[in-house]
Structure formats: C-alpha cells, structure tokens
Structure 1
C-alpha cells in the first residue's frame, strides 16, 4: 500500500483512530527537538505548542511595532509644532539639523536649498550653498523619498562628516522642488530600497511647508 493511499484512507475514515485509540500511544516518532522518540499524541501536542508559541511571538512583535509607531508619531507631532513656532529661517535651520538628528536617531543631516532666501541676510547660511544642476535634477526626480546607499550618480561630497551606511533623501517641495534634506545613518538596514516611506514623506512635507515661507521659489 502506497503512502498516498494510506493518507487518503485515513483522511476518509476519521473513525479509524477512534476504533484504534491505543495506536495513538503505541506509534512513536522521532522527537522534533531531539532526544529519542515520542508518541503520536505527544508529537501533536508539541506541534500545537510550537504553533501557539509562534503566534504569541508574532503578536508580541505586532504590539512592539505598534508601540514604536506611536512613539514616532508623538515625536513627529511635537516636532511639527516646533516647526510652526520657529520665528525665522535660522531657527528652522537649527531645528531641522539638530533637533531632528537628536530626537530621531539620525547620525548626520545635510540641508541644501537652491531657491533664493526671502531675507537676503540668510544668503550667508551654508544651506544656500550652490547645488550642482545634476544634483538638482536628480532630487527633482525623486517621487517621495530616496532610501538606500549614498547615491553615486551625483556629487555627495560635503553631505556628511562621516560616511553613511544608509541614507534617506527627501525633496523639499513648494510649487516646485527647491531643495533637499539628506539623512544619514550608521546602520545599513535603517534606510533601504523598498522600505515604507510614509513617515519620511510626512516629515518632508512638513519641513518643506515650513521652509517655503522663507524662500523665493
């Protein structure tokens, strides 16, 4: 009798084990955790425990992820309020480059704007350092956010003090793209191709709106 025939028979005759209950205890199988053999009943119990344990682990991870997302949302809400309260461009610049790095565990930040400042005295700020046309075009083609390794198709010298393991680049948009915000991480897995960018997009939108009040597009 072939294995598939036995399987089909047992599937179509569930009463078999009711009539032969002692067989459940007599049949022994290798223990999935090593250490000899166990009965079929014990094997089923182990399988159920493993399944329950896997479900509990999954639930725990979901809860932890939800809690982490709540923390990020709270931090972002507080940051967005500070953006609205900033009284001038320099205050915004400090807020974006230092508060953002400290509260969101960002290794380094590069903020560059090629639009002209509304206040001519802000021209001295390094944020308004000339951005090559190639970099402007590259940033303008980003949909929501670029995540991954430091781009090699444009000149990124001067972006960060130390080399980044991964980066996120957010285009700053008003009526058109007028700059970018580059975030650096020391972790390769922090910003990666294909990751969800909802938080990054929301961050870019709010920073763009705040900075756009101080530039001439």
Structure 2
C-alpha cells in the first residue's frame, strides 16, 4: 500500500468516526432530514438491500421476540414457584396435624418422594441414637451424635447456614446412601436450624445435573426452616 493510499485510509477512517460521533451526539438528525433517511440503503441478511427504516423495524422486531422469550421464561419460573409454594403449604398443614416424631418423619418422607420427586432422601437428626428403637431407624431416618466420626465428613457444610447443592465426597455419599451411592448423581444438603443445630436433610437425585451450585436455594432454605420448626416440638 502506497503512502498516499495509507493517508487516504486514515482520512476515510477519521471521516467515518466523525460521522459516527455526530450522529451519536444528534440522534434526532434523521427526523430533521427524513428525505435522506429514505434514500439510505443497507444490505439485508437474506440478500438484497433494505431501507434504514426497514432495518430498524427488523431490529425492533428481533428485540420484541427476545423480550417475548424472556417474559415467557419469567412466567414459567413464576408458575413453577407457585407450584412449589403450594406444595410447601400443603406439607406445612400436614406437619401441623402430626402428633409424634414418627408421624412427622413419615409426613416428610412421603412428601419428598411424592410431591417433590426425590429419588433418595435422608434426614440426619443430631440426637442420642439410644433414645430410639432399632425399628425406628431406617433408610430415611438417621439419628446420630453430632460428634460421631461419620459426621466429620460434613464439617464444612455444618458451619454454613445455607443449603449446598452439587456433587459430594465419597465418604459423605457412603454414609448417606449405603448400598445406593452409585445411583446418586447429585445431592442437596439442607441445614435444619442455625449451623444445622438439629441436623440436616439430604436429597439425592439420579440426575447429575438436578442439583448444582448455580441453582436457586430459596426453596430448599424454606424447606429446611419448616422441618427444623416441626422437629423442635420433640
């Protein structure tokens, strides 16, 4: 490229920038010069040319479609939240009618399996296991002292007040789901009380993506608050 051509290139770029800056500073320019607006032609994505007005209409139409999709997504999320809220409300009413710890545990297990679609669930209650008959301890209900060795694998989680979702370590998986660990792809750990003072709830899914660190935990936190309040009666 010759020196003159380079200079022309620089001048053209400077001129384009000047036009850009001017139009940016005067967005009403084409309102005052509508004849020029009608003369401008732009290449169309499907071939041929269209006027600037037609291009603007096309851009606005695309924006409308994007907003419509976003609105649809928000409506779907709102509906899903309404369904979850109704299920929690129904669960709360059923818990209020439970008179014993055994009945309360039965309500929670049934609700998790039928209303919330949990593939696996375990309620770990921090208490003296000797207070319970062997027949009371099952796959869902696990009474254990907080300082027992298996609980040390959950020490980091127990110091938090928030649910945790995603993958768990083998030691945690083996304790929660003995004999079924290979069937669990992802897990939600839900504290019951401040720093899991009463224990915690573990919900396992065969889907490795069902529970993940980026998901909303509001529903799980409310579920934990509800169960903690129900268990405090005993």
Same fold flag (TM > 0.5):
yes
Residue of structure 1 equivalent to 2:6: none
Q: Which moved more, 1:89-98 or 1:189-198?
A: 189-198
Q: CA RMSD in A?
A: 2.9
For residues 14 and 120 of structure 1, the distance between their equivalents in structure 2, rounded to whole angstroms, comes to 77
Q: Would the aligned equivalents of 2:120 and 2:205 in 1 still touch at CA under 8 Å?
A: yes
Give how far 1:181 is off.
Answer: 0.8
**Correspondence for 1:37:** 49
Give, in angstroms, the shift of residue 163 of structure 1: 3.0
Report the Cα offset of residue 122 of structure 1: 6.8
Q: Structure 1: which 4+ aligned runs deviate by more than 6 Å?
A: none
Structure 2, gaps ≥5 residues long: 1-11
In structure 2, the CA distance between the partners of 1:139 and 1:30, relative to structure 1 (3 Å rule), is same
- Match 2:215 to one of 190, 195, 209: 195
For residues 160-214 of structure 1, give each alpha carbon's deviation from its aligned partner in whole angstroms, at most 9, with x where no partner exists.
4353232111122379723221011233443222433222111111112222333
Aligned residues: 212
TM-score for both structures, normalised by structure 1: 0.81
**Which one of the candidate residues 176, 199, 204 is aligned to 1:159?**
176
Map of 2:84 onto structure 1: 72
Matches within 5 A, 1:1-217: 1=12, 2-11=15-24, 17=30, 21-32=34-45, 34-116=46-128, 120-121=132-133, 124-126=136-138, 127-128=141-142, 130=144, 132-135=150-153, 137-149=155-167, 151-152=168-169, 154-160=171-177, 161=180, 162-173=182-193, 177-214=197-234
Q: 1:139 to 1:16 in 2, by over 3 A?
A: closer
CA contact (8 A) 1:89 1:122 kept: no
Identify the structure with the greater helix proportion.
2
The Cα of 1:135 is off from its aligned counterpart by 3.6
Higher relative contact order, structure no. (Cα contacts within 8 Å, ≥ 6 residues apart): 1
Structure with max Cα Rg: 2
Distance in 2 (CA, whole Å) between partners of 1:182 and 1:107 is: 11
Cα distance in structure 1, aligned partners of 2:129 and 2:98: 16
Post-superposition offset of 1:139: 4.4
Partners of 1:137 and 1:16 in 2: CA distance = 65
